[in-house]
Structure 1
Amino acid sequence: MSLSKSILLVVLVVASVVNAKVYTKCEFAQEMKKHGVTSHADLGTWTCIASHESAFNTKAVNSVSGDYGILQINHYYWCSTTSTPGKGCNITCASLLTDDITVDIKCALHIFSETAKGSTKNGFTAWVTYKKYCTGDQSSWISGCSL
């Protein structure tokens, strides 16, 4: 990528952060439930992960690690940094930066299933924050939410 394209990408990402939607923990958990996550244990864990990864910010970008969106999905394996959808989730990384987190959730659930497939691993281990902050009982993350 040329320097001018890199600078433009940084400017666009920074500009997009200005109008980010920041979900509450309950709004996030409700979106996860709407997309098929029904286990309260899993809802608590996903909510913990989103909090620690992005502070529930839909436009979060970690330019060092290449993670995008509310669930900080990595560009190396899962999304394309070009305008053409690609990699493991067949999406663009830019599609992870919208206020509608449907794409983020679908990709995260795909990552979860791929990480756990054929191994004894828990699919949550694909997120670094899981081991550090979100193992064990995470029910406090969804307490007070109408689920």
Structure 2
Amino acid sequence: MKIILLFLYVFVVDAKKFTRCRLAKELVDIKLFQKTFLGNWVCLIEQVSDRDTSALKVSPSGKKSYGLYQIPSKWCKEGKKGGDCNIACESLLDDDIRDDTACAVTIFNKEGFKYWNQWTTRCKKNIDFITREIYKCPGLIKGRSNRRKVSPVTDLPSEELKNRRKQTKNGIDRRIGNR
């Protein structure tokens, strides 16, 4: 009994409930799918697990679905690596979402988003709204609000930068000398 409680405690401690923006950022950082699908993935995760990495659902027939993507045990194996994703089901319940996302992408590549009923019923028609909301997240897309100013001078290779500075200095010296 103590071993089971300790086992559950480890997964509860390592679990994470994401905000929409943090989830989107993590998914972009993982780089396992095109950004054009980001809204689809975020909506799917919100619908199936409410962005909670520790989500575990058991159907009345005893079938289990794990983690952010609610991946069924067909794709993983309890207690050790296995299933179509070659992953331990328990590893889908921690806060490291790379393996979860890799498995979800495997499912998507074989079945498409239609594999998840919640995507079909709740995301398919609302994806533009979710996508617009995601792209409001600060720092999500490089080149938006947190973009540093690009200077045509300071972003040059050092040798070219030195030459331009020298030319500018010479031009200023000539103008001052001509007065």
CA-to-aligned-CA distance 1:31-72 (integer Å, 9 cap, x gap): 2222232333x1111101100111100100002241000111
SS at match of 1:90: coil
**Aligned-pair CA distance for 1:143:** 3.7
TM, length-normalised to structure 2: 0.65
Q: Specify which structure has the bigger relative contact order, considering alpha-carbon pairs within 8 angstroms and separated by 6 or more residues.
A: 1
- Would you say how many aligned residue pairs link Structure 1 and Structure 2? 131
Instruction: Find the partner of 1:136 among 90, 110, 125.
Output: 125
Instruction: Measure, in 1, the Cα distance between the counterparts of 2:117 and 2:10.
Output: 27
Instruction: Measure, in 1, the Cα distance between the counterparts of 2:100 and 2:54.
Output: 11
1:85 aligns with 2:74: no
Q: Which one-letter code corresponds to 1:47 in the other structure?
A: V
Q: Is the 8 A contact 2:56 2:70 kept in 1?
A: yes
Q: Is the 8 A contact 2:11 2:94 kept in 1?
A: no
CA-to-aligned-CA distance 1:100-135 (integer Å, 9 cap, x gap): 1001000000010011xxxxxxx0011121111010
Q: Which residue of 1 aligns with 2:107?
A: 111
Q: Which one-letter code corresponds to 2:115 in the other structure?
A: A
SS at match of 1:103: helix
Instruction: Measure, in 1, the Cα distance between the counterparts of 2:25 and 2:99.
Output: 15
Q: After the TM superposition, which of the residue ranges 84-93 and 22-31 deviates more from structure 2?
A: 22-31
Query: What 5-or-longer segments of structure 1 have no aligned partner?
Result: 116-122
Q: Which one-letter code corresponds to 1:25 in the other structure?
A: R
Aligned identity (percent) is 33
Instruction: Measure, in 1, the Cα distance between the counterparts of 2:51 and 2:45.
Output: 6
Q: Is the 8 A contact 1:21 1:57 kept in 2?
A: yes
Q: Which structure: larger Rg? A: 2
Q: After the TM superposition, which of the residue ranges 30-39 and 52-61 deviates more from structure 2?
A: 30-39
Q: Is the 8 A contact 2:92 2:100 kept in 1?
A: yes
Q: Which residue of 2 aligns with 1:73?
A: 71
